[in-house]
Structure 1
Amino acid sequence: MNKYIESWVKEAIDGEDISSYEVELRGSTENGDSFIGQVLFVKVQGTDGNGKPKQLNLAMKLPKENATFRENMGKVSFHQEIIMYEDVFPVFETFQHQRQIRTPFSAYPRCFKCLKLEDKEVLALEDLNAAGYAHHNKDICMNLAHIRTVLREYAKLHALSFALRDQNKPLFDSLTAQLKEPFLDFLTESKVAFDTSIQETLDLLKSSGDEDLYQKYKRLSKGGASRLVEIIATVDEKAVIVHGDCWNNNFMFQYKNNDKSSPTSVMILDWQFSSLKSPAYDLAYFLYTTSTRSANLFHQYLQEYHKHLSEFLIQLGSSPKLFTFEDLQRHWKDFQIMGLLFIPTAFKFVVGDKDNLPDFGQIVEGQKMGDYLMSVPLPKNKEFYERLKPAIEFADE
């Protein structure tokens, strides 16, 4: 066992009433499972204070071993996630406890310890695999049951921001003042790469022979990456703390009787891109990267989300008028454009050929993030086109 892993585990389980333990490394994530960091799965077996057997299952999350990537985005994104676990979630938990919420927002893995070391950060999280959770296949769009499960939790997450700002604005402001913008910084630096993906998508649509679809996407993508950055950078009085990284691999679902078609709960992973943004940011990112085959139902999804948001706001002691459905529709008008501008590049990660998936651990010294992203080819497979087509067809102009 690596001595560093053992030292991290020792700090993580301090106070967990387990002694005489052994540490076993059970595996790790592969490229395509996580693009910002890597996860080591560790089993800790020992005894409790009464001498009874006790086992802890940890997911040790660390950044990619790449100095250039760490300097550009790795360090700040991991610090962002630490803020969420050490500051934001505890405040949300206390707030919900004070309001005696029976079904609170708790859709994130338990964090045993966050370590800030000289050359890396380590988050010791609960291993959700051992708790019966499983990833949804990132290559397949989510069905209605999965989408509804996620939207319900996003509604609770966003409602907490609205209610906390409504009832204790100084506390909310102090939380959000800590949050930075690693994802926006990444987009700003990578504008040429995003513009290239958008143009390649236009070329693909034109060569497909569907002139109407090509012309529609040409109109909707006007402004390109500059428009994308402008939308994401917009923060108004309706902004909330968002998850920020809403693609398939960042959700793990629990099922009953191994029925993988209908989840009973979801856990949301990877909070490194959390920041202060419109609720429509999470919704557009989530729906456009995971659910494009059902793009004709996007407005129904918005209605369901808003129903859950309003109900949870009332439970928290605030008015649903803090974010009306008309507000959501106004925000969605811009953020659906964000989704359409974002997905050509996002699909490099989601439906790209396995051999060509981005790996930020491969960035060479002095290389910019955008330049590296340019080297990753746009997917030209059938799945890419079949998910792109309905997203454009059902977008509002």
Structure 2
Amino acid sequence: MDVKLSVEQNDAINSIAKDEGFEDFFTTTRPGSSKGENYMGTITNVSVKKGDKKLDLLMKSSLKSVKLRKAIPIRKAYLREIHLYQTVFSAFENFLKEEGCLDPFTGHPKIYGSCTKDLEEFVILEDLKEAGYDLWNRKVPMNWDHISLVLKEYGKFHATSLAMKEKNPELYEKLTKGLTNFRSTTNEEADENTKKKKIEDEERNLKTLICGAIEAVKGNRAALDCLERFSSTVGKFFNEDINAPEDQLVLLHGDCWCNNFLFKYEDPQIKHPSKVSLIDWQISSIGSPARDLAYFLFTNAPKEILSDYKESLITYHDAASETLRSVGCDPETVYPFELLELQWRKYTKFGLRMAIKLLKVMVSESHEVPDVTEVFESGKNLTDELLYKSVNNDEYKRRLLDVVTVCVENDWF
């Protein structure tokens, strides 16, 4: 089924096609995402064709709902992502190459076009699925082949920030100016009363999520005690600790659940990945590398890999160190492993919070996941709507209990 494009979208596609050497071409479009996969926009697959020649594109378009935009800073999210694709990634790659790095971070799609007009925000990228990339099945924890590939790519990406801060701090500052913790951008333009209410609402929503998690692990005394301890400290963590100046070290991916990684398979029948591409950079911000790692591992790793978290940290740090050394930086000075371990322990709170928030969505059937636009248009609370009971509820409880058990075993809270 074709998707109707706006004037701005059609103009952008036509311009891209001509730039890529197409004349007298035709285009086809189709929806590119399922319910629950992208809460700040819609995905459209676009194919530009002329004879045997074809260009496959993916367009992310912002949602127009006024109520949704009041609740979520959608415009800022798109402007942020466009900035990364158009400016930051190319600057990062050029910097590394100029400094002698032979294997720079390139784990992201190519951008072809974008629009920053209010209410018409969109970004047009290469469609990697047509090049042999695919998503991991969100209902199943990732295996080590996939996890280690992501960790190594994060190592290269984070190390680029660390190296640029050492070698060209002025450029790093220019590229990352204003990329503060995305969660705080919802309060930037609000008055003090609105900010206070926003914080109170967020704390209430977090308590609601934790209550749902407690219900899921009831019967396990150690898990219940762990969640009680977590509940008593997590508010301060998100309102204060996460913004500590000493943690603002690198540019982060920010949104690290499984649907934001596309894996390249040379043989689609053998799911052994050769490359990974990180997608959805809308909530990228400055922070601790451990934030990306905790989010990623807590939501995607099976119990045995999360339990052996030091192996994951070593894999990540080795990749980061290799990139740092390639440009003449000393990893033990710039970002020693001991500091990574210290920050990991701190950011396990972040990982658990994201697991509590996302694991149910990840194991649910698509039709069960609330439609975010419908929720806000009807005046409902999104967190309350996430308390639904999935047909896969037993799997959700098992996955969550695995995560909390690892927290208990390591005395993280």
**TM-score, normalised via structure 2 length:** 0.88
Match of 1:319 in 2: 330
Aligned match of 2:49: 45
Displacement of 1:252: 0.8
Cα deviation digits, residues 56-109 of structure 1 (max 9, x gap): 110011112322222432111111101111221121021122123322211101
Q: Structure 2 CA distance, aligned partners of 1:172 and 1:73?
A: 25
CA offset at residue 359 of structure 1? 2.4
Who is 1:33 aligned against? 37
Partner of 1:202 in structure 2?
214
- Structure 1 runs (4+) greater than 6 angstroms displaced: none
Please state if 1:345 is matched with 2:365.
Answer: no
Alignment of 1:285-324 (within 5 A): 285-293=295-303, 294-321=305-332, 322-324=334-336
Partner of 1:271: 281
Change (3 A) 1:378 1:285: farther
Cα distance in 1 between the residues matched to 2:364 and 2:185: 24
Aligned counterpart, 1:75: 75
User: Which of 20, 23, 28 is the aligned partner of 1:16?
Assistant: 20
Once the two structures are aligned, what percentage of the paired residues are identical?
Answer: 28
Q: Secondary structure at the match of 2:122?
A: strand
Q: Which of 391, 394, 404 is the matching residue for 1:382?
A: 394
The aligned residue for residue 356 of structure 1 is: 368
Cα pair 1:228 1:342 within 8 Å, conserved: no
SS in 2 for 1:221: helix
Query: Deviation at 1:318?
Result: 1.3
Shift of 1:192: 1.4
CA distance in 1, matches of 2:245, 2:54: 45
The residue aligned with 1:50 is: none
Letter in 2 for 1:345: K
Is this contact kept in 2: 1:195–1:225, CA < 8 A?
Answer: no
Tell me how far apart the structure 2 counterparts of residues 87 and 303 of structure 1 sit (CA, whole Å): 30
TM (norm. structure 1) is: 0.91
Aligned residues: 388
CA contact (8 A) 1:66 1:362 kept: no
Unmatched runs of 5 consecutive residues or more in structure 1: 48-52
Aligned-partner Cα distance in 1 for 2:30–2:235 = 41
Unmatched segments (≥5 aa) in structure 2: 187-197
The 5 Å alignment of 1:1-397 reads: 2=4, 4=6, 5-46=9-50, 53-71=52-70, 72-185=72-185, 188=199, 190-206=202-218, 209-236=219-246, 239-293=249-303, 294-321=305-332, 322-365=334-377, 367=379, 371-377=381-387, 381-395=393-407, 396-397=410-411
Do the aligned partners of residues 46 and 317 (structure 1) sit closer, same or farther apart at CA in structure 2, a change above 3 Å counting? Answer: farther
Which deviates further from its counterpart, 356-365 or 180-189?
A: 180-189
Q: CA RMSD in A?
A: 2.2
1:349 deviates by 2.9
Contact kept? 1:231, 1:335, Cα under 8 Å = no
Indicate conservation of the 8 Å contact 2:159/2:324, yes or no.
Answer: yes
1:190–1:295 CA distance, 2 compared to 1 (3 A): same
| Aligned partners of 1:347 and 1:379 also within 8 Å | no
